[in-house]
């Protein structure tokens, strides 16, 4: 088994595609309208669905408000340089809601950005994460 996709309901499909593609650098993989069901699906990601998990953006026609609730946390993306990634998000019109820095009670460097619907996207610096994992493996060996 493997994760195929995560579905997010969005209020404005064009704004969401712009955020995920232009701000976060994903590609629009496919998009299809379902007139009988009155919804459109757009799949975005960093690679093909056959090899990568992607995000399904679901736009229900005529629905322009959702309650995010408190059960969903966030989507996480790995980045090589978190400070550069946050700078690019800002330059591309995105919103960094937690500046880069170590996570509470740990050393992994993280930041959070927010999409047009208020969903949180966690950025995790991979270089620091790889060092932390390697250190943990050495300690447990």
Catalytic residue among 31, 49, 114, 122: 122
The token pair at 82 is 């978190």
Do residues 75 and 119 lie in contact, with contact meaning Cβ atoms separated by under 8 Å? yes
Active site residue 122: yes
3-state class (DSSP) for residue 97: strand
The token pair at 113 is 């950005």
Q: What is the DSSP string of 75-91?
A: EEEEES-HHHHHHHHHH
| 88 phi and psi angles, rounded to 5 deg | -65, -40
3-state class (DSSP) for residue 33: strand
Q: Which residues does the annotation mark as catalytic?
A: 122
């Amino acid at each position: 088994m493997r994760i195929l996709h995560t579905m997010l309901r969005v209020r404005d499909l064009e704004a969401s595609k712009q955020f995920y593609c232009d701000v976060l650098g994903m590609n629009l993989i496919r998009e299809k309208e379902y007139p009988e069901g009155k919804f459109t699906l757009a799949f975005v990601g960093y690679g093909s669905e056959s090899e990568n998990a992607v995000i399904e953006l679901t736009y229900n026609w005529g629905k322009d408000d959702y309650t995010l609730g408190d059960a969903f946390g966030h989507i996480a993306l790995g980045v090589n340089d978190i400070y550069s990634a946050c700078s690019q998000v800002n330059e591309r019109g995105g919103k960094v809601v937690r500046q880069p820095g170590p996570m509470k009670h740990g050393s992994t460097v993280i930041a959070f950005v927010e999409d047009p619907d208020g969903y949180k996207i966690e950025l995790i610096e991979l270089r620091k994460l790889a060092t932390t994992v390697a250190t943990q493996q050495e300690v447990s060996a």
